[in-house]
């Protein structure tokens, strides 16, 4: 500011207040930088309410394309007939809502063959910040316990987290065991069928439906929750999928990266195995009942009684 020799008192006053304003801005700015420096240098979490969320996602075989290897009795997986487990989409959706509310991060993790990367790209497009594929030929043929062990080792390697979210079940193996087993592996509490969750100081407040009641539970952090499916879920747009490919990459960890025990993975590390698989023959037939409406109704009634469907 150019100052004239003969300033009016008002001009002079405003120049003082502008200068004071400038210096107070400089002091505030220095204070902010100082606080940020001390905070980062000391490793203190400045987000305070931030939530670090891990979401477990499985790639499943599309329903009517399930083929079984006659030798190993394992599912035959191919990129063409695989997709993200629909129940895990609800979980991702919940993670995105929680991140919007509390800030923090979402890490998506899956154990599976290389083709399982596809579900991680989808997770990144939906809102995950990081994606990890646990893949090694020695992980193949793992039962739910070995799967939970591998996921647990992956999560130990990730390190800090506040909560782990799983789907309620999968549409191919459909055991609903992985969530609870993973919580046991990591020695943290778990709740299944979770519909709503919020963070309250040092714990989570969780709502779940049970036998016509609404249960409200409080559980310590960190915890694992299996999320109940809801009516609708948001799918990523093509632009979001394209953005994910340009913005992110997928980390891939094998047995050595996880420092995992080879005796606890794959068929050797599994305490259950498939002895035999017998396809269920579904017999459907269609019978047309001819005649007048009254006669048709009589005929239908007697057929239902004949088949023990009505008594």
Binding-site ranges for ligand FAD (CB under 6 A)? 56-58, 74-75, 85, 87-88, 110-112, 141-144, 147, 151, 166-167, 169-170, 172-179, 267, 272-274
Question: What is d(CA 108, CA 55) in angstroms, rounded to the nearest whole number?
Answer: 5
Give min distance, CB of 75 to ligand FAD, in A.
Answer: 6
Contact, 250 vs 123, CB < 8 A?
no
Q: Which is nearer to ligand FAD, 55 or 125 (CB)?
A: 55
Cβ density class 114-126: b for 16+ within 10 Å, e for less = eebbbbbbbbbbb
Report helix, strand or coil for 253. Answer: strand
Q: Which is nearer to ligand FAD, 177 or 299 (CB)?
A: 177
Q: Which is nearer to ligand FAD, 140 or 221 (CB)?
A: 140
Give min distance, CB of 56 to ligand FAD, in A.
Answer: 3
Q: Which is nearer to ligand FAD, 140 or 241 (CB)?
A: 140
The token pair at 168 is 């309620």
Give min distance, CB of 243 to ligand FAD, in A.
Answer: 24
Q: Which is nearer to ligand FAD, 104 or 179 (CB)?
A: 179
The token pair at 113 is 């063959």
With CB atoms as reference, the residue minimizing the distance to ligand FAD is 167
Give min distance, CB of 137 to ligand FAD, in A.
Answer: 12
Give min distance, CB of 222 to ligand FAD, in A.
Answer: 16
Of 113, 119, 93, 95, the residue nearest 234 (C-alpha): 93
CA 153 to chain CA centroid, nearest Å? 17
Contact, 56 vs 90, CB < 8 A?
no
């Amino acid at each position: 500011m150019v100052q004239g020799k003969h300033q009016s008192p008002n001009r002079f006053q405003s120049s003082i207040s502008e200068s004071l304003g400038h210096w107070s801005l400089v002091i505030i700015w220095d204070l902010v930088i100082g606080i940020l420096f001390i905070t980062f240098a000391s490793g203190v979490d400045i987000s305070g309410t931030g939530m670090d969320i891990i979401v477990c996602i499985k790639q499943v075989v599309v329903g009517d394309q399930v083929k079984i290897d006659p030798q190993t009795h394992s599912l035959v997986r191919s990129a063409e007939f695989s997709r993200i487990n629909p129940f895990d989409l609800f979980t991702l959706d919940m993670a995105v809502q929680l991140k919007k509310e509390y800030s923090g991060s979402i890490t998506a993790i899956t154990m599976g063959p290389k083709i399982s990367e596809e579900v991680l790209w989808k997770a990144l497009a939906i809102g995950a910040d990081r994606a990890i594929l646990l893949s090694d030929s020695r992980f193949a043929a793992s039962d739910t316990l070995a799967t939970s062990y591998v996921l647990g080792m992956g999560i130990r390697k990730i390190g800090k987290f506040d909560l782990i979210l799983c789907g309620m079940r999968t549409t191919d193996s459909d055991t609903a065991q992985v969530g609870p087993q993973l919580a046991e592996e990591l020695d943290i509490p778990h709740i299944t069928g979770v519909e709503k969750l919020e963070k309250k100081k040092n714990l989570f407040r969780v709502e779940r439906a049970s036998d016509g009641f609404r249960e409200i539970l409080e559980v310590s952090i960190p915890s694992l929750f299996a999320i109940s499916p809801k009516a609708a879920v948001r799918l990523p747009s093509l632009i979001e999928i394209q953005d994910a490919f340009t913005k992110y990459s997928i980390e891939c960890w094998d047995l050595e990266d996880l420092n995992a025990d080879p005796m606890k993975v794959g068929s050797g590390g599994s305490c259950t195995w498939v002895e035999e698989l017998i396809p269920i023959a579904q017999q459907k037939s269609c019978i047309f009942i001819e005649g007048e409406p009254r006669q048709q109704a009589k005929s239908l009634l007697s057929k239902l009684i004949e088949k023990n469907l009505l008594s």
